[in-house]
């Protein structure tokens, strides 16, 4: 079966279930009535509930367009309110590119006309990979303009060739923004090699219009020569911000509750800390030493409830620097390159000492480019939501 055929089949599952129900209804065998009701319940769930949040690879956009047309015809409205498009590197050289993206434009316009779209994502399958480059055609962002007032959540991975059209849109109702921007120079891999260079005014104006923003994640890649200017930005409703950049943007954080450099005496005010294992020497003073008791650690850092550690390569780091917080940590995020040195019997013994822990997140990144990510919250375990 072709990929397009498989996508059509997936989007047609509700109709297939309904057809089975109709066949069972026509049967005279009374014992099949339960199966008929079960199938009709499955149809209702697929059509009404499962159709509200859709993730689709960009090459399957034609199938998605037909599915939403049927959804509008059957229900009188678009039920889907969250759409995630998984794009591919160099897809503009794929023969399916034109049909796929024009079908996506049709989808975006349809959802814009019905003001149905609350959340939209256009990203790679591995958004944390800095080498990946996505060139979205300009008409994708033009079609998103019709949803600019209804949209509450936006997640975009974009190369510089797409910025001009994206930054022209006013997302006045946006609450959550996750933006990954790359300046990697690869004109032979771009749709538009003569793209408009990013200006400080362009970025600042784009963000400043989002007066209702509560969550902001920014990632700037390859910005060594053009450092974004973020002076005079103000987000009155902002409650969470996450920034990663090869070079820090100027002026994004204009004030803080203490003056001068961060010093050990500021430790009591810390509530969350994110670091890499390679920083262990720098943070030894902050995190404690093997000889420090749990009581001493708590006295020096009474409010820390969330630790996030990336590039974790040894259990000893956890034992030395994380164990002292066992009675106060409520959330622990770990990113490891290889599970073998970490997840042994002593790791599970260590977890037993975290009496206050309610959320544990573990990401394993090894030689395989992409692996499933899971989180544990209470007694539930399921796929990790990579959004806010």
Task: Summarize pLDDT for 266-325 with one digit per residue, the tens.
Answer: 667 777 777 765 555 555 555 555 566 656 666 667 788 888 887 777 777 777 778 878
Parse the chain into domains and list their residue ranges: 81-245, 264-383
Helix axes 3-11, 13-26, angle to 10 degrees: 60
User: Which of 51-60, 72-81, 372-381 is the least confident region?
Assistant: 372-381
Once rounded to an integer, what is the mean pLDDT over residues 359-385?
49
Instruction: Indicate the average pLDDT of the chain.
Output: 72
pLDDT at 132 over 70: no
Task: Summarize pLDDT for 167-189 with one digit per residue, the tens.
Answer: 889 998 899 998 887 766 554 55
80, 17, 91, 78: which is closest to 53 by C-alpha? 80
Q: What's the predicted TM-score (pTM) here?
A: 0.62
Q: Strand 331-336's sheet: what is its strand order?
A: 272-276, 306-312, 331-336, 359-364, 374-377, 380-383
Cα gap 52→44, rounded to integer Å = 12
Token reading at 267 = 């430790």
Cα gap 66→52, rounded to integer Å = 15
**Contact predicate 162/138, CB 8 Å:** yes
58, 94, 90, 101: which is closest to 189 by C-alpha? 90
**Contact predicate 139/103, CB 8 Å:** no
Q: What is the pLDDT of residue 135?
A: 78
| Confidence at 59, pLDDT banded by 50, 70, 90 | confident
Q: What is the pLDDT of residue 375?
A: 37
The set of long-range contacts for 183-189, using a CB threshold of 8 Å and a minimum separation of 24, is 183/220, 183/221, 183/222, 183/223, 183/225, 183/226, 184/133, 184/159, 184/221, 184/222, 185/222, 186/133, 189/89, 189/90, 189/133, 189/135
Cα→Cα distances 26→12, 30, 32, 33, Å: 22, 11, 10, 10
Token reading at 182 = 């790359």
Q: What is the pLDDT of residue 240?
A: 76
Cα gap 132→17, rounded to integer Å = 39
Cα gap 378→356, rounded to integer Å = 11
Topology classification of domain 81-245? 3.80.10
Token reading at 93 = 């050289």
Q: Could you tell me what percent of the chain has a pLDDT over 70?
A: 57
């Amino acid at each position: 079966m072709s990929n397009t055929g498989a996508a059509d089949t997936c989007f047609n599952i509700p109709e297939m279930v309904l057809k089975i129900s109709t066949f069972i209804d026509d049967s005279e065998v009374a014992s099949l009535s339960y199966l008929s009701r079960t199938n009709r319940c499955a149809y209702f769930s697929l059509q009404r509930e499962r159709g509200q949040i859709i993730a689709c690879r960009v090459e399957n956009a034609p199938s998605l367009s037909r599915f939403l047309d049927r959804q509008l015809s059957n229900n009188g409205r678009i039920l889907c309110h969250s759409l995630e498009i998984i794009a591919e590197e160099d897809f503009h050289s794929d023969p399916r590119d034109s049909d796929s993206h024009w079908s996506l434009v049709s989808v975006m316009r349809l959802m814009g006309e019905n003001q149905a779209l609350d959340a939209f994502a256009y990203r790679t399958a591995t958004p944390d990979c800095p080498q990946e480059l996505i060139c979205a055609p300009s008409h994708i962002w033009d079609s998103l303009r019709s949803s600019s007032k209804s949209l509450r959540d936006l997640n975009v991975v974009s190369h510089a060739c797409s910025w001009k059209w994206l930054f022209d849109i006013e997302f006045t109702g946006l609450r959550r923004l996750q933006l990954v921007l790359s300046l990697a120079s690869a004109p032979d891999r771009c749709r538009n090699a003569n793209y408009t260079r990013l200006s400080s005014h362009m970025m600042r104006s784009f963000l400043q219009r989002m007066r209702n923003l509560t969550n902001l994640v920014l990632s700037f890649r390859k910005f060594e020569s053009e450092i974004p200017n973020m002076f005079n930005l103000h987000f009155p409703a902002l409650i969470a911000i996450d920034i990663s950049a090869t070079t820090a943007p100027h002026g994004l954080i204009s004030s803080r509750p203490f003056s001068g450099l961060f010093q050990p005496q500021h430790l009591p005010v810390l509530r969350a800390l994110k670091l890499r294992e390679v920083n262990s020497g720098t943070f030894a003073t902050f995190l404690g030493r093997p000889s420090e008791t749990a009581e001493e650690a708590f006295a020096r850092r009474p409010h820390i409830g969330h630790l996030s550690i990336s590039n974790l390569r040894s259990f000893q780091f956890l034992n030395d620097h994380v164990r002292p917080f066992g009675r106060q940590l409520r959330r622990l995020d770990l990113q490891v390159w290889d599970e073998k040195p970490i997840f042994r019997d002593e790791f599970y013994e260590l977890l037993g000492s975290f009496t206050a822990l309610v959320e544990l997140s573990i990401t394993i990144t090894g030689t395989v480019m992409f692996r499933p990510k899971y989180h544990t919250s209470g007694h539930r375990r399921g796929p990790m939501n990579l959004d806010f």
